[in-house]
Amino acid sequence: MITLLDQPLYRSAPAPTGGTATVSVLLADGHHLFRSGLGALLDREADLAVVAEAPTAEEAAAEAARTRPTVAVLDPDLPGPGGPATAALIRDRAPATAVLLLIAVPRSDDLQRAVADGVAGVLLKDVPPAALIAAVRELARGGRVYDPRLVMDVVRTTEAPLTPRELTVLGHVADGATINEVAAALSLSPGTVRNYVSAAIAKTRGRNRCDAIRIARERGWL
């Protein structure tokens, strides 16, 4: 089951009764203070038990092989291969372990890459503690959990936000044409071409025209 992490999920993932830890967790994060705080949070839950911690990707993979945790909670920017690459290492050494990525700074392709690489859960690090605990339980039951903010970013970037004319202008610029050359080719004024380029930069959220071209190519718009 795929779940968007929102208020209903908090209610749908209660702790099992009985008081016995049933979900073992591996924590992998390069920041000791964050890792310790997260461990203390999870260990307070009767059904959850942190069985190992690791500050690097290689150590995370080694601990996964040693402890075979139910869920591995990873920082995608771990020292080493990081993110989905670390998830692949863990999958190789502990195939039954579900991986949950905690992302500090979201990038446009985080969720798509994670899903393609078999990551079962992706959350932003600023989620409420109850949401994180619910996500760990959901993954332990075989479900998948994705932060709705990342899902909305995927939805927004599925279709090109640029108009056909903006894409045409950006395509000419990407091919190395100058503003004046683009203007001549499309029978536009240089000022109009600059306006189209500026609009493309704004809509792609690029830093400049080169960044806008890169983003458009990565997303298949050019």
Query: How far, in Å, CA of 91 to CA of 8, rounded?
Result: 29
Rounded CA-CA distance 56/53 in Å is 9
Task: Write the pLDDT tens digit of every residue in 181-219.
Answer: 999 999 999 999 999 999 999 998 899 999 999 988 877
What's the average model confidence in pLDDT over 114-123?
82
- Distance, in Å, from the CA atom of 210 to the CA atom of 222, rounded to the nearest integer, reads 13
SS3 68: coil
Q: What would the pLDDT profile of 64-89 be if each residue is shown by its tens digit?
A: 999 999 999 999 888 876 656 788 88
Rg (CA), the chain: 22
Instruction: Report pLDDT for 77.
Output: 82
Residue 51 is classified by DSSP as E
Alpha helix positions (H), the chain: 7-12, 32-43, 57-67, 83-93, 110-116, 129-140, 148-158, 164-174, 179-186, 190-204, 209-218
The pLDDT of residue 131 is above 90 = yes
Residues 94-111: tens digit of each pLDDT: 999 999 999 887 765 667
The predicted pLDDT at position 83 comes to 59
Is the distance from CB of 165 to CB of 77 less than 8 angstroms? no
Q: What is the reported pLDDT for 9?
A: 41
